[in-house]
């Protein structure tokens, strides 16, 4: 059994502080997460969360962008950030002695950004180029197209970086309103992993995040999903890219089904030994890239199949995926398949436990999406205890009326 010590403290200003002790490490990882992403935006300000993520690196009240870059890098550390449809995160890895410096830098960026107008205009150009780079990647295009048609009517349909039109319209007033929400409205979660004293971490967060005034409930989200099929044609392509998938109503957003969907996904298409990989790539040679995946939001789960193949083989590949999917719903797991899948998941958890970054991201994801931390031992026990009958029953019930959508990006 893995020894894991997770500690949790909620400060008076609403910041949740979490630490996962790894005694035998020389480094520490720490990050701060804000429950706001592209799904919380409107069409007019789509991309604002991603814009904010970029702009806080461009200088604070006491540090220039160059100083932010040098502070941790010059001591062997690194500072990263990302935006999703659900949240925005900032995290750093440093030697253990530099944990106070890492907390200071991240807090400074979030509590005291400068939002210089010249830097805004430069970064606007950078992000527009970033959007163009995604347009050149068919796999990115098909994913965004799927979200656009399947989640039409709710914020999950918006691309994370925004559109060229929306990014051109983003203003400094919008950024300062975002900053006001960070200081006054949005909960912040601070997570750290490594050789960390939890009381020291709490003191550091309290000191460096002192400008944080309060935390109210996160933005209310609305969820809607549609069954639709849409194809986008692009000139510079040699393959067709496809994403076929669905999502589930809030009534299915409970831990048993989340675990069941994860187990099914591994068996169906997450790895080389999965049904999807074997049937489409190994048996037929139809695709180099083929896999299935899950998305966990705060109120729904998404599942889908992604593949790239020759234009005249797209329908055949999709038919094989759909047939294999239906076979699973009809017949359940093949002999030995469930036990192999469980060991795959448990082995992955244990191997990942050696990585501070994976432990950090796992802790942050669970807190942001589920509102609760499950230790690795708890997760192992949950996976082990699933019976095949119960798991298949859950999946059949969820998939029965789920609206499937299909997005394709094909050569023109």
In a domain, 213, yes or no: no
Domain count within the chain: 2
The DSSP secondary-structure symbol of 169 reads T
Tell me: pLDDT of 234 over 90.
no
C-alpha span between 328 and 334 (Å, rounded): 9
Mean pLDDT on 166-173: 98
Question: DSSP letters along 89-143, please?
Answer: EEEEEEEGGGHHHHHHHHHHHHHSB---HHHHHHHHHHHHHHHHHHHT-HHHHHH
- Do 48 and 166 share a structural domain? yes
* Closest of 83, 84, 29, 14 to residue 54, by C-alpha: 83
pLDDT tens profile 293-337: 999 999 999 999 999 999 999 999 999 999 999 999 999 999 999
* 4 — pLDDT class (breaks 50, 70, 90): confident
The DSSP secondary-structure symbol of 160 reads T
pLDDT of residue 3: 76
Tell me: pLDDT of 235 over 80.
no
C-alpha span between 72 and 101 (Å, rounded): 8
Whichever domain contains 96, its CATH number is 3.30.830.10
C-alpha span between 82 and 91 (Å, rounded): 9
Domain that holds residue 119: 3-207
C-alpha span between 48 and 132 (Å, rounded): 17
- Do 379 and 267 share a structural domain? yes
- Do 94 and 197 share a structural domain? yes
- Share of residues in the chain with pLDDT > 90 (%): 94
C-alpha span between 407 and 367 (Å, rounded): 31
Tell me: pLDDT of 225 over 80.
yes
Mean pLDDT on 90-104: 98
- Do 55 and 7 share a structural domain? yes
- Do 176 and 125 share a structural domain? yes
Mean pLDDT on 29-50: 97
- Do 187 and 127 share a structural domain? yes
Is residue 82 within 8 Å of residue 92, measured between CB atoms?
no
The per-residue pLDDT of the chain, averaged, comes to 95
- Do 179 and 278 share a structural domain? no
* Closest of 321, 262, 271, 270 to residue 295, by C-alpha: 262
- Do 249 and 111 share a structural domain? no
In a domain, 57, yes or no: yes
Tell me: pLDDT of 366 over 90.
yes
- Do 58 and 126 share a structural domain? yes
* 56 — pLDDT class (breaks 50, 70, 90): very high
């Amino acid at each position: 059994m893995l020894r894991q010590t997770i500690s949790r403290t909620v400060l008076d200003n609403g910041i949740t502080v979490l630490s996962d002790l790894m005694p035998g490490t020389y480094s520490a990882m720490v990050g701060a997460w804000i429950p706001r992403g592209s799904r919380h935006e409107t069409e007019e300000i789509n991309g604002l969360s991603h814009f904010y993520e970029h702009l806080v690196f461009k200088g604070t009240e006491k540090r220039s962008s160059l100083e932010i870059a040098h502070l941790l890098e010059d001591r062997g550390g690194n500072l990263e950030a990302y935006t999703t449809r659900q949240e925005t995160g900032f995290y750093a890895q440093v030697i253990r002695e530099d944990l106070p410096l890492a907390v200071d830098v991240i807090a400074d960026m979030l509590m005291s950004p400068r939002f210089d107008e010249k830097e805004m205009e430069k970064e606007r150009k950078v992000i527009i180029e970033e959007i163009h780079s995604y347009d050149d990647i068919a796999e990115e295009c098909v994913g965004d197209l799927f979200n656009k048609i399947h989640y039409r009517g709710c914020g999950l349909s918006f691309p994370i970086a925004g559109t060229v039109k929306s990014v051109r319209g983003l203003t400094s007033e919008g950024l300062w309103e975002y900053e006001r929400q960070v200081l006054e409205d949005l909960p912040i979660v601070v997570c750290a992993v490594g050789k960390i004293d939890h009381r020291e971490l709490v003191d550091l967060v309290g000191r460096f995040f002192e400008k944080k005034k309060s935390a109210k409930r996160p933005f209310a989200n609305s969820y809607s999903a549609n069954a639709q099929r849409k194809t986008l044609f692009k000139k510079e392509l040699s393959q067709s890219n496809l994403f076929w998938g669905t999502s589930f109503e809030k009534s299915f957003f409970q831990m048993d089904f989340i675990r069941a969907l994860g187990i099914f996904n591994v068996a169906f298409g997450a790895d080389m030994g999965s049904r999807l990989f074997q049937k489409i790539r190994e048996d037929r040679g139809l695709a180099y890239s083929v896999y299935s995946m899950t998305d966990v939001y705060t109120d729904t789960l998404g599942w889908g199949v992604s593949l790239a193949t020759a234009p005249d083989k797209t329908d055949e590949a999709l038919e094989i995926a759909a047939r294999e999917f239906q076979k699973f719903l009809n017949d359940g797991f093949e002999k030995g398949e469930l036990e192999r899948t469980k060991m795959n998941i448990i082995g992955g958890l244990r191997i990942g436990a050696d990585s501070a970054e994976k432990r950090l991201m796992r802790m942050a994801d669970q807190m942001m999406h589920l509102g609760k931390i499950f230790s690795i031992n708890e997760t192992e026990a949950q996976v082990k205890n699933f019976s095949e009958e119960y798991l298949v029953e859950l999946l059949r019930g969820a998939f029965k009326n789920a609206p499937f959508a299909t997005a394709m990006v094909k050569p023109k």
